[in-house]
Structure formats: structure tokens, C-alpha cells
Structure 1
């Protein structure tokens, strides 16, 4: 009796199954992140109960400290506290901020929007800068290659605090075109966005330049030229699409880089956001707020990474075949 082979899965089904596996892996990453944050915050010197009551200088009584420890479960063994910590996060309960005395979900909601607006704006600007720079450095001219390589290396190596200072001195103090601090409007977003975007643009241009040069020398591009396609059509329609794939794969890393860079940028430009609030929460030993910010940021990073990998698989079926 012969067995009938199962029909092959459709490409959409395969990508969906792959995405589900990545989501399960993302949950494991988030659990590990929450675990690291929990024990790292416990290693910071000081008593969390004192932080809840206003810090070491609050001169609270021993009775008040005991009451707070019992209320927040801080008198339980560390293992029990950890299990309660994971259980709350699993149900979506982010707890109450020690320093702000309000639900953490209400605190990080507006901050998350502000940081995501900054990160995605910087990512869009980085791509807008990287694509022309890549096309310029691969024109075939030795001068263009040297200038493009120099701009890529310079942009990628600029530290955020130095670049922010130069932009403030130039466009705020010198020219007076833009505000030196975030004002909540579009103009207040320009300098923080440029500060984050320029280094990322350098990295993206470096990766796409090599890929574009390989694509321009590939057989399908040579065949397009033989059929009479012009240089602009070859570069924009055929080669650039393939050259952008490494940049798409780098987008997930770039997003994490932008969110981590937001800690410095939001502080320099006095912009409300997750990065600036994370620094304050660590100093205040606000364990629920620190945990929520780190876990939410990690969740956003995991989702961006899955979307970027899925986009690369859809654009290039060879990735799925190699996998």
C-alpha cells in the first residue's frame, strides 16, 4: 500500500509558521529580559522600601518600612518575589511606580509614543540619507568612491553627545533656525532626529554600498544592460532592490541602536521619553518602572526584528531556501 505524500505548504503558510516560531522565541527573550532586570535591580545597594517611601533621606520609621515591605511583598523570599514578578508581567500587570505613585502603564504610555516617534523618524531619515549616499559612492568614479567612503565612516563614528552639541551650536545658537530643546512640535523633533539618524545612515550606506556593487556586477544586471536598459533604470529598478536587503536585515539592529541612543538624546534635548525616564527610574530604584520600560523596549525590538526578517524573506525567496 503506497502512502500519499502531503502537499507542500504554500509560501505564505511557511512564512506564517516561521513568524509564529519567532514569536514564541520572542516570549522567551522577554522572560529572560525580565529576569535579568529583576535581579540586577536587587543588586543595587539600598532598600526598595526606602525608595517607595521617598529615598534614604526620608527618615521613615521602622514600622512604616515594615508595613511597606508587607504591602509590596518585599518581605517574601527572593524566589517568591521573582515568581510573583513574572506572574504579574504575564498577565499584563506592570505594577505601580514607586516614585510617581501611579500605575506604570499610565506612565509609560505617553513616553512610549514619544520614543517611538523619535526612533521611527530617525530610521526614516537614516534611510533617506543612506540611499543617495550609496548611489553616489557607487557611480564608478574614484573620487565619488573616496568621498562616499569618507562620509560613511565619519557618520558612523560620530558619538551622539558630540553630534548633538554640534547641531545645537550650529542650528540653534548660530543660525537660530531650530530650538535647542524639544518643544513638543515638529521643529523640536528635527535636531534629536538628526542626532540619531546620521550615525545609522553611515552604517546603512556602508552595508548597502558593498551589496550594490555586487548587484551591479551580477548576471541579471548585465542582461538588463544588454537589453538596452539605461543606467538609472538598472540602478533603481534592479540593483537597488537587491542592495537594500542587507539594510532591511540591519533595520532591527538599527531600531535597537536608536532606542538605546534615545537615552542620551532625550536627556540632551530635554525630550520626554522612555530613555530619559529610565535613567531617573534607576536612580530612584523604581523597580516596576525600570522593568516595564526595559521589557516594553525589548518587546518592540523583537517585533521590529520579526517584521524586518519577514520583509527580507518576502523580498528574497533565496533566504527561505537557504534556511
Structure 2
């Protein structure tokens, strides 16, 4: 029989291996997040660099209102000032080092620092995104649980058909439908603007519907698979009620793929913010992106894309770090 010291050393080695595995897991996920942000910045820079328009000419047109042709001497002066006359690799590395420090340059439309412009628009998008994400998560999980809890075939099929229906509805159509019904018809909620909780309800629902569709569909199918598994049959044989098996055992296993989809939904929310903020006349990153593209404000466009990539990577990194808490086996793998 091994003595106490031998068992203690074995437990210590096992604990150190577990900690080492968790550390490697976290380092890999952080590396992937950094890579995603760098790739988003590089691809955006390449696309903007390959555009046929001249950035210096765009700056002068924005300043003059687009009424006069850009002077070649003024264009050359701006190109030298912002380093646009340097070789492409020097431009890329210079802008990359500045971006790492949080400096994305000056907006060509407003003359203000890009980080300041983004910071002014960011709170509205965060408020809208969080509200839509929370509402969509509860709605999606509620549909999935209800679809697996009810016994009536008609109601069960109806609940299972809601996720495909929600995912097929365009955001602008949902937004306009909600405005027409709740704002113009029932006059219960404001149709546009921001500032109060009532102004947030309709935009949040518009964001939440497509988010809930994916979560409900994945969770419902996972619940069905878990309820048909051998451990569920064993629990039924022991007399455990169906509702307890669903909520206590099957739901915990089914939440893992839903968590993955939850992290990926951040990208859809940021993309949908362009439409939702336009429909409801809200200020945010989506509205800022639309205006910047219209004005060809290249520094702001690049800043918004990179900042959106940072939010997306941070959300997925958070999901990856939560995984070992849900399923401890992932930390070892």
C-alpha cells in the first residue's frame, strides 16, 4: 500500500498537470483573440488601401463640402503630413503601432480623434446590444424549454417552428413591423430616439428576435438528444419526473452549444446594429459606420471595424473561459 507521502506527491503532480493544462488552454484562447483582432485590422487596411479613391482628396472634399476640386499642392501636403506618400509597408506598420496604442488617427469628416468619435457612439450600442442579448437569450432558452416540456403535439410543433421563422425575418422588417404596431397603432412605445427605457424596448426586441432563433434551435435539438439518452431513461426508470430531468440534468448538458452560439451572436448584433439604429434613429456604432462610409471617412471606418473585432474577440474569449466552469473536461483537453 502506498504511504501518505506517496499519495500526496501523486495528488500534487495531478494538480500541477491540471493547472498547466488550464494555463495552456487560456494562453491559446488569448492568442486566438489577438489573432482575430490583428486579422480584422490587416484585412480592413488592405481593403481601404486598395480603394481607388485618394484619402487626401477625400479629406479635402469633406472640408470643402465637396463643392470644389482638390488642389494638387494641398493633396500632396496632406499626403506628406499623414504619411500617405510612404511605401505601403511603412504605412501599415506605422498605423498598426499607433492602433496598438489606441491611436486610430483623425476623422476626416469632423477633425476629431477617431477614438473620441467611437467613444461617443459606443455607449448607445453597448446598451442596445446588452439589452438585445439578454432578452434574446431568455427568449431562446424559454422557447427551447417550453418546446420540450409541453405534451400537446400541436403546441410542441408550433414552438419548434418559431426559431426558423424568427431567423428568416429581416431586421428592418421586424423593426418597421414593431413600430407600426406598438408605436403608431397602439401608441404604447416611442417610434424613434433614445434617452429613456421606453425608447430601448422596440430596438432591443428587434435585436433579440434573430439572437433567440439560433439559441432556441440549438438548445431545443440538444435537449431532445439529451432526453433520449441512456441516462435520461435510467432516471425515468427510477421515477424521476420529466420536468426535473429536463431542468436539472438535460438543460445543463444542452447549455454548452448554446453558450458557443451566444458568443458568436455578438458579431450578428454588431452587424444588426447598423440596421436597427438607422430604423429607430439611435446614435451608435452602426449609425456611425453608415455615416462614415457615406462620407468616406476612412479612419473612422477602420476604427469601428477594429473596435467591433475587439468586442467580438473579447466576448468569445469570455465564453471560452467560461467553458471549463460548465464542463471541467474542456480545461484538460
Q: If the length of structure 2 is used for normalisation, what is the TM-score? A: 0.89
Question: In 2, Cα distance between the equivalents of 1:283 and 1:12?
Answer: 51
C-alpha contact 2:56 2:79 (8 A) present in aligned 1: yes
Tell me, yes or no, if the aligned pair for 1:41 and 1:287 is still in contact at 8 Å: yes
- Residue by residue, what CA displacement relative to the aligned partner does 1:133-171 show, whole Å, maximum 9, x if unpaired? 112211343223310122121111111011111111001
Structure 1 Cα separation of the partners of residues 104 and 252 of structure 2 = 42
Greater CA drift, 16-25 or 165-174: 16-25
Task: Report the counterpart of residue 5 of structure 2 in structure 1.
Answer: none
Cα distance between partner residues in 1 of 2:214 and 2:226: 19
The correspondence for 2:297, drawn from 282, 286, 301, is 286
1:182 shift after superposition: 2.5
Match of 1:67 in 2: 77
The structure-2 alpha-carbon separation of the partners of 1:303 and 1:33, relative to structure 1 and needing over 3 Å to count, comes to same
Residue in 2 aligned with 1:90? 100
Q: Is 1:18 the counterpart of 2:25 in the alignment?
A: yes
Shift in Å at residue 13 of structure 1? 4.9
The residue number in structure 1 matching 2:3 is none
Separation (CA, whole Å) in 2 of partners of 1:282 and 1:160: 20
Tell which deviates more after alignment, 168-177 or 34-43: 34-43
Deviations 1:8-46 (A, max 9, x none): 336455334312222122222222211111121123332
The C-alpha deviation readout for 1:53-103, integer Å capped at 9, x for no partner, is 234434343222222111111121222211211121122222211111111
Partner residue, 2:255: 244
Deviation readout 1:187-242 (Å, 9 max, x if unpaired): 11111111111122111111011111122223333444444433332222222121
Answer yes or no: is 1:178 the counterpart of 2:189: yes
The answer to whether the aligner puts 1:7 opposite 2:13 as a matched pair is: yes
Alignment partners' CA distance in 1, 2:22 and 2:99: 29
- CA distance in 1 between counterparts of 2:17 and 2:25 reads 12
CA distance in 2, matches of 1:211, 1:140: 18
> Secondary structure of 2:293's partner?
helix
Distance in 2 (CA, whole Å) between partners of 1:77 and 1:310 is 41
Q: Considering only aligned residues, what root-mean-square deviation do their CA atoms show, in Å?
A: 2.1
Matched ranges for 1:127-146 at <5 A: 127-138=137-148, 139-146=150-157
Describe the SS at the equivalent of 1:44. Answer: coil
Count of aligned pairs between the two proteins: 319
Could you tell me which residue of structure 2 aligns to residue 311 of structure 1?
Answer: 322
Equivalent residues of 1:136, 1:144 under 8 A apart: no
In structure 1, the gaps of 5 or more residues are none
Q: Structure 2: how far apart are the matches of 1:180 and 1:68? A: 43
Find the aligned partners of 2:32 and 2:222 in 1 and give their Cα distance: 30
Residue pair 1:41, 1:285 contacting (<8 A) in 2 also? no
**Between 57-66 and 124-133, the greater mean CA deviation after superposition:** 57-66
Tell me, in whole angstroms, the C-alpha distance in 1 between the residues paired with 2:143 and 2:212: 9
